[in-house]
Amino acid sequence: MAKFITRYFSQLDSDDEKIAALNYLRKIFHELSPFAHEPVDLVLWVKAEEVVANDYNPNVMAAGEKKLLQHSLQEDGFTQPIVVSEGKGQYLVVDGFHRQLLARRESEAGKRLKGWLPVSCINPNRKGQPERIASTIRHNRARGKHKITSMSDIVRDLTRLGWTDERIGQELGMDRDEVLRLKQISGLADLFQDEEFSSAWTVL
C-alpha cells in the first residue's frame, strides 16, 4: 500500500494535484474511520480564497495576543485547523478567524502554506446560520473570550430567528438570567414582550 501511494504521488507534478489526491485519500479513510463522526478526524487543505470570514464573531484579540499567535504560527507551525462550515463552494469560518487572517499575510507561515489553509468542517447538521453562530460562541466562550456588546446582538438575532431563551441558554452555555441581561443590553423592548419582571428590572 505505502509503495503504491508513493509511486502514485511521484507521478504528480504540481502541488495542486498532490493536495487534491491527499484530500481524496483522507476523505476515503475518514469514511472508514471509527471516529468518522468527529470533525477533527478529517482535516483538508483548501485554497485560502475559498475560506470566508463570518460577520458575527464577537471574539476580539488584543495586539499582544495577535503578535504571539503570529510567532506561534511561525515557530510551531499550524497545529490547529480552522473550523468551518462548508457550503456553496466556500468555507465559512466558525472558529479560527485570526489564524486564517494571519496565514494570508506575507509572513513565514503564509509563505509556507503557499495559499492553502487547513480546515475541519463542523457536522452537517450544524450548517444553519443560528447553529453556526452558536458553535462560534461556544468556541469563544470555552476560551473565555467574547465581547459582551456583540453577544447581546447575537442573542437578539437568535431570538428573532425563533430560538427560545431556553435554547439560547443551552446552546451558548448561559443561564436564563444571563440571556435576559443580554437581551436587556440590546435595548429592544420587543424582545421582552413575553417576559415577566420583578420591580428590579428596567427595560431601556
35-126+135-146 under CATH 3.90.1530.10, yes or no: yes
Residue 130, pLDDT score: 75
Residue 199, pLDDT score: 42
3-state class of 94 per DSSP?
strand
Q: Which residues contact 129 (CB under 8 A, 6 or more apart)?
A: 161
pLDDT along the chain (204 residues), means of 10: 90 94 95 94 95 74 80 88 88 87 77 92 76 75 57 82 86 84 69 48 46
**The cell 442573542 sits on which residue?**
155
CA distance 102 to 184: 35
Residue 105, pLDDT score: 65
Residue 95, pLDDT score: 86
Domain boundaries, the chain: 1-32, 35-126+135-146, 147-191
24-59 burial code (b ≥16 CB/10 A, e <16): eebeeebeeeeeeeebeebbbbbebeebeebeebbb
